[in-house]
C-alpha cells in the first residue's frame, strides 16, 4: 500500500533562508500531490497542488516540485519568516480518491 | 470566504457516553470527510461521504462510529460509546470534486475521561 515519508525531525532554518521540506512516497505515482500547513490546534490549510505531469508549481514564496522518477516532492519556502513556522503536511490521492497523509515536518524559522 | 464550520470546539465526556460532532461543509461541495488527529500524531482518515452514503471508511471507523447528513447541510459524526482512546481532535473536511483542495474545519477536540 502507498506510504508517505516526511522528515519526522523538526527543521530549523534561519530567517531569510530557503526552507526545503521533503515528501517521499513508496508506491505508484499519484495523479495529484498536495501540501498543507497546520498550526497547533488548527485544521490543515491547503497551500499547493501539483499534478503528475507538472514538474514545478509556484505560489508567491512557495514552490513545489514533483519528481515521479525519484518518487519525491520538495516544498520550498524562500525568504522564510518566523510566521512560516508550522507543521507542513504532504498528501496524495490514492486510487480511491482518498488523500493519504504524511506525518508532517515541523518547520521552525528562527529570527 | 466560505468555510467549514464545526461544533463544538471542545467536548469533555465520560467513557461510555455518546457524542455527536457537527459540521457544516461548504455549500457547493459534494465530498465530505472526517479525520482525527491524536495529539502529536498524524492526521488519520476516518470516513468519506458522497451522494448521501459512505464511500470509504478506515479500520478506525468501526461499529461505534456513524455519520449522517440529516438535512442537506449538516454532516455529523456520532460515537456511540466513547473510549479513552477516542480522545483526539476530529476534523471535518469537504471538497467540490474527487480531487483538489480539501477545506478543513477548525476541529472539535474530544476529551474522554
Alpha carbon distance B11, B87 (integer Å): 10
pLDDT for res B18: 97
Quickly state the pLDDT bin for B71 (edges 50, 70, 90): confident
Residues with pLDDT less than 70, chain A: none
Quickly state the pLDDT bin for B37 (edges 50, 70, 90): very high
pLDDT for res A98: 80
Residue pLDDT, tens place only, A79-106: 999 999 999 999 998 777 788 899 999 9
Q: Which residues of B13-33 are buried (b: 16+ CB within 10 A; e: fewer)?
A: beeeeebebbbbbbeebebbb
Alpha carbon distance A71, B75 (integer Å): 36
Q: What's the burial of A108, exposed, middle or buried (CB within 10 Å: 0-12/13-18/19+)? A: middle
- Residue B103 to residue A46, Cβ atoms within 8 A: yes
Cell of B36: 482525527
A31, A32, A44 member nearest B43 (Cβ): A44
pLDDT for res A31: 82
Alpha carbon distance B86, B79 (integer Å): 9
In percent, the amount of chain B with pLDDT more than 70 equals 100
**Strand ranges inside chain A, DSSP E:** 4-6, 11-14, 19-25, 32-38, 45-51, 56-59, 62-67, 72-77, 86-93, 99-101, 105-110
- Residue B102 to residue A46, Cβ atoms within 8 A: yes
Mean pLDDT, range B7-12, rounded to an integer: 97
Mean pLDDT, range B69-95, rounded to an integer: 94
Mean pLDDT, range B68-92, rounded to an integer: 94
A46, A100, A103 member nearest B101 (Cβ): A46
- Residue B100 to residue A103, Cβ atoms within 8 A: no
pLDDT for res B98: 83
- Please tell me the distance in Å from B41's CA to the nearest CA on chain A: 7
Residue pLDDT, tens place only, B38-52: 998 889 999 999 988
- Of A15, A20, A51, A49, the C-alpha closest to A35 is A49
Alpha carbon distance B113, B95 (integer Å): 33
pLDDT for res B70: 84
Amino acid at each position: 500500500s502507498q506510504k508517505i515519508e516526511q522528515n519526522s525531525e523538526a527543521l530549523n532554518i534561519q530567517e531569510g533562508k530557503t526552507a526545503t521540506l521533503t515528501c517521499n512516497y513508496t508506491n505508484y505515482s499519484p495523479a495529484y500531490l498536495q501540501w498543507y500547513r497546520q498550526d497547533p490546534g488548527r485544521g490543515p490549510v491547503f497551500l499547493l497542488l501539483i499534478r503528475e505531469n507538472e514538474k514545478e508549481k509556484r505560489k508567491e514564496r512557495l514552490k513545489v516540485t514533483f519528481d515521479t522518477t525519484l518518487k519525491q516532492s520538495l516544498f520550498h519556502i524562500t525568504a522564510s519568516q518566523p510566521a512560516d513556522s508550522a507543521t507542513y503536511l504532504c498528501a496524495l490521492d490514492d486510487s480511491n480518491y482518498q488523500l493519504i497523509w504524511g506525518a508532517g515536518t515541523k518547520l521552525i524559522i528562527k529570527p | 470566504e466560505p468555510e467549514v464550520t464545526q461544533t463544538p470546539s471542545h467536548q469533555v465526556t465520560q467513557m461510555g457516553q455518546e457524542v455527536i460532532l457537527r459540521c457544516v461543509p461548504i455549500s457547493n461541495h459534494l465530498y465530505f470527510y472526517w479525520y482525527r488527529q491524536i495529539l502529536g500524531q498524524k492526521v488519520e482518515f476516518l470516513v468519506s461521504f458522497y451522494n448521501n452514503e459512505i464511500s470509504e471508511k478506515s479500520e478506525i471507523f468501526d461499529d461505534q462510529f456513524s455519520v449522517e447528513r440529516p438535512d442537506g447541510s449538516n454532516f455529523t459524526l456520532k460515537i456511540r460509546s466513547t473510549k479513552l482512546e477516542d480522545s483526539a481532535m476530529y476534523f471535518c473536511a469537504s471538497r467540490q470534486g474527487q480531487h483538489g483542495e480539501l477545506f478543513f474545519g477548525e476541529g472539535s477536540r474530544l476529551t474522554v475521561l
